[in-house]
């Protein structure tokens, strides 16, 4: 296998990255990968990569290889590929094997397979088994089936049986069904309390609303706030923001501020601006500014925006400029536009030009677009550079300018050039603007092979619309071969 860092599926990624994502992977690369028995996880990744590119022939080979070594996710993918390719019975056999191994997802897929075959009893049995194995979607499908077949009285029992799996939705669905029964009020509260104790935020929120609606008199802090505070201290995700909102709405700003502080992290940057707002409301402006400054320093865009506005309102414009310059140096989105807009309003046009050119020379697409706006004579050059750097907004603007100038050929050339590099917008526009149906089809086949989402379905619809229904059906079932041609029948058992 070579180095321990070697990842067989990475060969494909490295090849595409080296030659740009629009480069077609030649058959020799796929064949080499198929001939190499990699680990099952890597082989599954290759199967998925081939599937995304419409190369069902290789997807089946990779999935078969991993499935034959007992890899359940690969077996499930292979079943999907086999059914799509026109062998539903083989797909059913694979899914039954997954179910026999107590694979919850495979059992649910078997239920869906039975449902497509019109075998409703077997589908129901498989959904029940998948649910028992702990597959949450299976419980939902089973409940939906009972609803469709007029057996709504059995749904409550289904959700009761789902409770031991720990699925939060099962608890809430059961609560919904019991809520209209006054005799079940105690059970509803018990269910919500159990959910809240298990860390289920929705159950906690329902419980708080329930105790609020009860209007029960309390001494000291109300029960809803006490429950939220306890959940926040126990680390229930999402409980603390609910607590902060509740305290702030009640005018308890000091408590809200203290509960908000633990939320302010790099991972939750929006809470920094929230804390600053609470501090301002409490008349603690200096603390609010320090909070925003800390957030801006950590890379929070909202904190930077609010801090710049705050400094401007206080007439501290040089400080605001310095903050934005620092943010630009650190690559913060939006800082360049904000600073150049400020300087333009102040008449500092020469400084704007210097700043934009410096940023553009460092391959900043935003700066290139702004330079294009500011320098009409150089617009095409800067938009072209930004488009080549992968900026879709610049490409759209460049093409728009060519179109308005009646330079359709140049638009097509730019789009085709970037389409060949794998730019998704350029590929789609090239297809849309193709001068002939044949040219559009050629680009669509290319789009399929580089993995542009939905392009295979679009190609199949186009073929059907041209009266080529047989080929359209074959394309949907078998995909394409390397080079884009619709695949012919291949050995579905190859491994």
* pLDDT(35) > 80: yes
Give the number of other Cβ atoms within 10 Å of residue 479's Cβ.
26
* pLDDT(218) > 80: no
pLDDT tens figures, 50-101 = 999 999 999 999 999 999 999 999 999 999 999 999 899 999 999 999 999 9
CB 282, CB 254: distance < 8 Å: yes
489 DSSP assignment: P
Question: How far, in Å, CA of 157 to CA of 189, rounded?
Answer: 18
* Mean local confidence (pLDDT), 200-216: 89
Structure tokens at 240: 């603390």
Domain boundary assignment for the chain: 166-214+222-260, 264-334, 348-433
Say what the pTM is. Answer: 0.75
Q: Which position has the token pair 């553009």?
A: 360
Where does the pLDDT of residue 370 fall: very low under 50, low under 70, confident under 90, or very high at 90 and above?
confident
Question: How far, in Å, CA of 310 to CA of 45, rounded?
Answer: 50
In angstroms and rounded to an integer, the radius of gyration of the C-alpha atoms of the chain is: 30
* Mean local confidence (pLDDT), 141-163: 87
* pLDDT(12) > 60: no
pLDDT for position 11: 45
Alpha-helical segments (H) within 389-468: 392-404, 408-419, 424-433, 437-449, 455-465
pLDDT for position 464: 97
Where does the pLDDT of residue 5 fall: very low under 50, low under 70, confident under 90, or very high at 90 and above?
very low
Please work out, in degrees rounded to the nearest 5, the angle formed at the alpha carbon of residue 474 by the alpha carbons of 471 and 477.
155
Distances from the Cα of 139 to the Cαs of 109, 143, 200, 241, 460, in angstroms? Answer: 13, 6, 18, 31, 35
Task: Please count the CA atoms within 13 angstroms of the CA of 453 that sit on its side-chain side.
Answer: 1
CATH 1.20.1300 for domain 264-334: no
3-class secondary structure, 480: strand
pLDDT for position 8: 46
pLDDT for position 4: 38
* pLDDT(144) > 70: yes
Task: Please count the CA atoms within 13 angstroms of the CA of 396 that sit on its side-chain side.
Answer: 6
* pLDDT(286) > 90: yes
pLDDT tens figures, 232-279 = 999 999 999 999 999 999 999 999 999 999 998 756 778 999 999 999
Q: What percent of the chain has pLDDT over 70?
A: 94
Where does the pLDDT of residue 112 fall: very low under 50, low under 70, confident under 90, or very high at 90 and above?
very high
Average pLDDT in the chain: 89
* pLDDT(473) > 60: yes
């Amino acid at each position: 296998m070579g180095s321990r860092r070697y990842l067989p599926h990475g060969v494909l990624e490295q090849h595409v990255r080296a030659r740009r994502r629009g480069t077609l992977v030649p058959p020799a690369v796929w064949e080499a990968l198929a001939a190499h028995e990699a680990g099952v996880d890597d082989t599954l990744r290759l199967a998925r990569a081939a599937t995304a590119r419409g190369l069902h022939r290789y997807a089946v080979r990779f999935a078969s290889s991993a499935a034959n070594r007992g890899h359940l996710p690969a077996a499930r993918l292979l079943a999907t590929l086999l059914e799509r390719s026109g062998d539903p019975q083989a797909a059913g056999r694979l899914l039954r094997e997954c179910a026999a191994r107590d694979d919850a997802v495979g059992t649910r897929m078997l239920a869906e397979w039975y449902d497509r075959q019109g075998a409703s009893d077997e589908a129901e049995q498989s959904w029940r088994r998948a649910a028992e194995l702990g597959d949450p979607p299976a419980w939902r499908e089973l409940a939906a089936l009972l609803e469709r077949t007029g057996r709504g009285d059995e749904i409550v029992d289904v959700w009761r049986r789902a409770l031991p799996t720990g699925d939060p939705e099962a608890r809430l669905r059961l609560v919904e069904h019991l809520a209209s029964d006054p005799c079940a009020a105690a059970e509803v509260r018990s269910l919500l309390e159990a959910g809240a104790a298990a860390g289920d935020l929705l159950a906690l929120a329902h419980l708080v609303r329930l105790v609020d609606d009860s209007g029960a008199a309390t001494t000291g802090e109300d029960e809803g706030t006490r429950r939220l505070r306890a959940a926040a201290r126990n680390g229930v995700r999402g409980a603390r923001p609910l607590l902060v909102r509740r305290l702030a709405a009640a005018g308890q700003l000091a408590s809200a501020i203290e509960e908000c502080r633990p939320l302010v992290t790099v991972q939750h940057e929006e809470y920094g601006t929230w804390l600053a707002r609470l501090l301002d409301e409490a008349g603690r402006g200096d603390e609010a500014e320090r909070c925003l400054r800390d957030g801006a320093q950590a890379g929070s865009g909202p904190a930077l925006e609010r801090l710049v506005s705050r400094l401007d309102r206080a007439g501290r414009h040089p400080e605001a400029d310095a903050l934005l310059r620092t943010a630009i140096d650190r690559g913060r989105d939006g800082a360049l536009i904000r600073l150049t807009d400020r300087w333009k309003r102040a008449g500092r046009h020469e400084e704007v030009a210097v700043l934009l050119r410096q940023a553009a020379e460092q391959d900043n697409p935003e700066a290139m677009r702004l330079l294009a706006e500011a320098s009409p004579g150089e617009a095409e050059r800067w938009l072209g550079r930004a488009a080549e750097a992968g900026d879709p907004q610049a490409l759209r603007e460049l093409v728009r300018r060519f179109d308005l100038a009646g330079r359709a050929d140049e638009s097509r050339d730019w789009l085709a050039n970037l389409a060949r590099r794998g730019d998704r917008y350029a590929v789609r526009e090239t297809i849309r603007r193709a001068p002939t149906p044949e040219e559009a089809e050629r680009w669509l086949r290319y789009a399929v092979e580089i993995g542009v989402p939905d392009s295979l379905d679009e190609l199949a619809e186009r073929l059907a619309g041209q009266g080529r229904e047989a080929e359209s059906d074959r394309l949907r079932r078998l995909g394409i071969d390397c080079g884009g041609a619709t695949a012919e029948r291949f050995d579905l058992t190859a491994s």
